[in-house]
Amino acid sequence: MLQKKELPKLNEGFARIVFCHNENDVEATIKAYTALGPLDTLSNGCFGQKNPDAKIQLGIMKFLKKVEAPSNVGSSSDSVQDSAYPQASDANNICCKGTAKESLLLGVASKEVKESENLAKGSVDDDVSVDEITTLAFPSISTADFQFNNETASDIIVEKVEEFVNKLENARLVLVDLTHGSKILSLVRTKAEKRNIDSKKFFTFVGNITQLYSQGGLRCNVIANAANWRLKPGGGGVNAAIFTAAGLALETATKERANSLLPGHAVVVPLPSDSPLYTREGVSHVIHVLGPNMNPQRPNSLNNDYNKGCSILREAYTSLFTGFLSILRSRSKLPRRISEKLALTPLDLKDPSLDPRNHLTNSDQKIKRDDGCVYERSKKCKGANDETVADISAPSSTYGKVTGDKSKLEGPTSKTWGSWAQALYHIAMHPEKHKDELLEVLDDVLVLNDLYPKACKHLLVLARHEGLDGLVDVHQEHLQLLMTMHAVGLKWAEKLLHEDSSMVFRLGYHLAPSMRQLHLHVISQDFNSNHLKNKKHWNSFNTAFFRDSVDVIEEIKNHGKATIKDEDSQLSMELRCHRCRSAHPNIPRLKSHISICQAPFPHALLENGHLVLAPKT
């Protein structure tokens, strides 16, 4: 209903929403406001007026039966939701629905929280909270600098959104572009409409992805970055904007997770609470994504190979959305009281104890945080209190009671483990007792040298979660952990490559590990070690017994578990060179062969990131 009494006056710094019942109401409203000053058409279904003194824009949202979407709407506005509003036959009906109201609020929220409170109170009857919605804002991947065809990219975006949108529960996805005339937004919008994708769960938005809340009133807890492969600031576009807006905190947090990214992959980085993006915009995570590159001027150009390109772009969106889902899942594990506070903006969080980022759950999985607060706290705890690590493990755990008991201990998969097989488990549970052996200590993982390396360089990335003895225990909810383990392993491989660029690394898990506690092998492919002594040693790294980390991650993403089969048969297979595939009668003969074999690695290994090599110079 047009609320004419609200029309004449708009205080400085305030915005107002006017609910219109029908086209006539909208026209009348626009007319009334036009009388007060020039009115801009901001975008489809949305009009605005810039008040130069107030520095805030007034918006009038139009809710009608069906609005044709013009792809080009010139405007000087900063940002505005780009159509895709819920549509219904009666505007009042929409107004009564929380989701529509959220859209309204999001569309024209003002700059300061105080102001938006006033906005809500002044113009909207019911107080409907939008706070419980978790939102991922993402730019179109690869269509800008990487010159990926917009038409094809829009198909893939819509396809992937459609695939994930039903898994979101109370969350949503927003495709963001800086410009109003954005071709990709227009294409995606049209195609999403055609496929009847729920516009409450997915819509497009015009605005700066680093100012969605402060300038556009759209609260996005998670934003995606179209990153470069080195995960470094600079370049241009979204990457430069996000790194600049997030400050050094993002660079540091990113470095802890990964040093580089393969095309088609994504890495979730929790944003430290001192980052301006966190304090100003309420962004808790940045997900770096690397898409395929079609630009010959940029590294790893695919030379217009759209077969590969499409497959990598699909992978990129899968990784991005899966990363987002893992954030949702870890949030949903928070106790109710905390999750209720989750969507509070940082401005609302006067009491740091209310900040969910400062909490650990009581469940058997810690909510991983390496932002300043928690990291500092956990470090302090380690010094003061030996129970820190025990706090992480499950109080309700029924296995793995670490006592002096020499008897075999049961793990979660009820496999029995000899006392000798518990060494990694002990390290994972009590890293403070093994400081000298550890190369790196992070919230979720530890890095250490394998005690009996089977190659010149052989590291282990050890999960710290209790209850994960091996791959068999890994499920969908561990996806984020697997990605962290991979990223940390990759980081170390690259560090070692820096010291010796002739090395080649492979990252993977043993199908049936001898040692309890999930660990990722990062192993150089020279296999030049006196500790490699028998057929089992060789085959555990050079048959299907060795499961590449990238493949395991894919399997968990797609099927929720890793395929475990034929573990024993792999270990007794004939001995074959991992490069030229020639067979050898015994270990000494094989070893003398691999010391000289220069054959290229098999295609299956060279493709899809199974091997980590130094970049070609």
Partner DNA sequence: GTTCTAGAAC
Q: Where are the alpha helices (DSSP H) in 433-566?
A: 479-499, 535-542, 549-559
β-bridge partners, 266? 289
Which burial class, exposed, middle or buried, applies to 135 when counting CB atoms under 10 A from its CB (0-12, 13-18, 19+)?
Answer: buried
Check if 426 is active-site: no
DSSP H helix total and E strand total for the chain: 20, 21
Task: Give whichever of 420 and 603 is closer to DNA, judged by the CB atom.
Answer: 420
Q: How far is the CB of 588 from DNA (least distance, A)?
A: 3
Task: Give whichever of 397 and 586 is closer to DNA, judged by the CB atom.
Answer: 586
Residue 106's φ and ψ, nearest 5 degrees, are: -65, -35
Q: How far is the CB of 451 from DNA (least distance, A)?
A: 7
Task: Give whichever of 376 and 574 is closer to DNA, judged by the CB atom.
Answer: 574
Q: How far is the CB of 542 from DNA (least distance, A)?
A: 12
Contacts of 390 (CB under 8 A, 6+ apart): 429
Site of interaction with DNA (CB under 7 A): 418, 420-421, 451-452, 510, 513-515, 531, 533-535, 537, 540, 572, 575, 585-589
Contacts of 596 (CB under 8 A, 6+ apart): none
Task: Give whichever of 308 and 535 is closer to DNA, judged by the CB atom.
Answer: 535
Q: How far is the CB of 312 from DNA (least distance, A)?
A: 32
Return the DSSP state at 615.
P
Task: Give whichever of 362 and 534 is closer to DNA, judged by the CB atom.
Answer: 534
Task: Give whichever of 47 and 545 is closer to DNA, judged by the CB atom.
Answer: 545
Q: How far is the CB of 147 from DNA (least distance, A)?
A: 45
Give the residue from 498, 519, 497, 516 showing the smallest Cα distance to 507. 519
CA distance 133 to 116: 17
The encoded tokens of residue 340 equal: 């209720």
The encoded tokens of residue 82 equal: 């780009």
β-bridge partners, 438? 448
**Cβ density class 453-480: b for 16+ within 10 Å, e for less:** bbbebbbbbbbbbbbbbbbbbbebebbb
Q: How far is the CB of 453 from DNA (least distance, A)?
A: 8
CA distance 584 to 590: 5
Return the DSSP state at 140.
P
Catalytic residue among 519, 521, 578, 610: 519
Residues known to be catalytic: 519
